[in-house]
Structure 1
Amino acid sequence: MVHEHSSANRLSRSSYTERDAHDEDTALSLAPRLAYFAGVARHEHVTRAAQEMGVPQSTLSRAIVRLEEDLGVALFARRGRTVSLTPAGRTFLASVERALTEVERAADSVRADADPGAGRVAFGFLHTMGSETVPSLIRAFRADHPRIRFSLVQNYGEAMLERLRAGELDLCLTSPVPDAPDLVARRLDEQRLRLVVPDDHRLASRKRVRLAEAAEETFVTLEPGYGLRRITDDLCAEAGFTPRVAFEGEEAETLRGLVAAGLGVALLPPPAVARPGVVELTVTAPRAVREIGLAWLDGHPDTPPVAAFKRFLLSRRGVLLA
């Protein structure tokens, strides 16, 4: 029974694949002739349609005949050079006009996105850069490019890199700086990390601390997969211990709240606004920093707005976080 069911499934998948390929072949053969068909239908005259579209009349006539042959139905009733739609032609025209309208809208959209003065940039960045760094960058960029639009995405590093690969982002600011054959990445700056402790903690009266002094503490961290979590784990290993993690989250400011509540300590970048209830200590050893890099898909052509914003970001190497 199971064997027969499996065989049937394999046959079903095979049939679906063949049908899908056939549908794709049909679309490829029909697509170039749809605009010709709509033009003849609009004028109901082959000569006038050919003149409007700037194609030889013979080319237009052959395209319509071939279209009818591929569909297996007559789209026009012919009286000399004058034609009129058949019932099948009217049905087909309604769908063709919708399809051509969608194509025109898509063309207008991509042209608008690529407009040098008013195009669009899809830009991703880390959550911790969203409250201050990115708004300041965009404000400075738009001083010279006031009409360029942005689609902004906040996420953790690996998720943004996947969106780069999927073509959903043009550029992203991430950490650590990725090293992958399909991506181009440039180091822009580095950000010092601090050991954040509750304001009544035994280390709270200090200004500086060696990370090894927190070896027995409970840590609150970002979830695995986040760049800052990997950096935290690596720094603790360099200091000679594995952190005991009590809570994992997705936002640095949530972690600060957990620290303020006395639930642990954390390694975090500086906050945009000081938070009460915590003390932020400089880590003297090991050197606690995270590198911030700009990444984009290798070989992916830039539109003029994307190229302009990329040049702007690369020009801020070393002062990105200033």
Structure 2
Amino acid sequence: MVHQPSSQPRLSPSSDTEDMAEMSKVLAPRLAYFAGVARTEHVTRAAQEMNVPQSTLSRSMVRLEQDLGVDLFARHGRTVSLTPAGRTFLASVERALAEVERAAEEVRADADPATGKVAFGFLHTMGAETVPGLLHAFRADHPRVRFSLVQNYGEAMLERLRAGELDLCLTSPVPDAPDLVARRLDEQKLRLVVPADHALAGRRRIRLAEAADETFVTLEPGYGLRRITDDLCKEAGFKPRIAFEGEEAETLRGLVAAGLGVALLPPPAVPRPGVVELTVTAPRAAREIGVAWLEGHPDTPPVAAFKKFLLSRRGSLLPT
């Protein structure tokens, strides 16, 4: 079979990435047509099964062969058969179409109101008690909704939110950015945690300024709680002297228990031996907890339901 030169892009050994992208756009709409003709080995029958005009299907196959620069079919009157090149191409086309169908089924399943999925991020400090309690309460009315859970610090979660990897996240401080929507849900008091044998351990309350000479253990820069710690110490009139930086609040509690410093932390899910937790009377030591999502991002039904649930928990998000 002889084909006239095509004005469409052609694959060649010298094709660069841009050429390949252009070729993909040309080929993609014709792959299902090709698979249908290859399956039936009859253009008329394939056109009837796919509910497209026979002339459209015939032209599409000719253009596909022109774009590839190879014969995919041998013509025998009204029937066709695959050439060796056609059989090779069909194997890859069927895999590609199966992958597209799998992806379509997956996104349909994720959007299903009853059984869909929510990608939900939250702070490490909320993983032991708060988030399990929230999910348990939500699933009382939505027992089959699935969750993809991500624990991280605030800025990292916001990056994943912007990248489309998360639908919602619980974070602190509550972000203020034009591309995000955020709602304050609750606040969590912070305590000054000191070793059990510390000179301050006999106290129940303390002004933060009284800890100005202490060595602190804190979360690393970039964590919301680190920023709050720095701001509260500044408000109390000093810059904290930092000995250790970590990534999890419970690790910091362990460092405090080992006598390596003091820390400003939210309450633990379970009391930890070896430390005493003091109420900070001044300045007011608390962190706001909020839920954030991407501005203008459409919600699937399960995401919309979980967002509504979280907003209904304003003022009662955290365990008392």
TM-score by length of 2: 0.94
Superposition misfits of 4+ residues, deviation over 4 angstroms: none
Return the match for 1:101 from 95, 98, 101: 98
Return the match for 1:217 from 210, 214, 217: 214
Partner residue in 2 for 1:305: 302
SS in 1 for 2:278: strand
Return the match for 1:188 from 179, 185, 190: 185
* Gap regions ≥5 residues in structure 2: 1-14
Matched, 1:80 2:72: no
Q: C-alpha deviations, 1:99-129, integer Å up to 9, x for none?
A: 0010011001101111110000000000000
The AA in structure 1 aligned to 2:232 is L
The AA in structure 2 aligned to 1:67 is L
Aligned-pair CA distance for 1:44: 0.1
Matched, 1:64 2:61: yes
Partner residue in 1 for 2:47: 50
CA RMSD of aligned residues (A): 1.0
Aligned-pair CA distance for 1:62: 1.0
Partner residue in 2 for 1:232: 229
Matched, 1:114 2:111: yes
Matched, 1:129 2:126: yes
Matched, 1:24 2:21: yes
May I ask how many residue pairs the two structures share in their alignment? 306
Partner residue in 2 for 1:4: none
Q: State the alpha-carbon separation in 1 of the partners of residues 139 and 257 from structure 2.
A: 37
Partner residue in 2 for 1:152: 149
Return the match for 1:206 from 196, 203, 206: 203
Q: C-alpha deviations, 1:190-237, integer Å up to 9, x for none?
A: 000000011111111111100000000000000111000000000000
Aligned-pair CA distance for 1:321: 0.5
SS in 2 for 1:294: strand
TM-score by length of 1: 0.94
Matched, 1:142 2:139: yes
Greater helix proportion: 1
The AA in structure 2 aligned to 1:117 is A
* Gap regions ≥5 residues in structure 1: 1-17
Partner residue in 2 for 1:7: none
Q: State the alpha-carbon separation in 2 of the partners of residues 56 and 284 from structure 1.
A: 79
- Calculate percent identity across the aligned residue pairs: 85
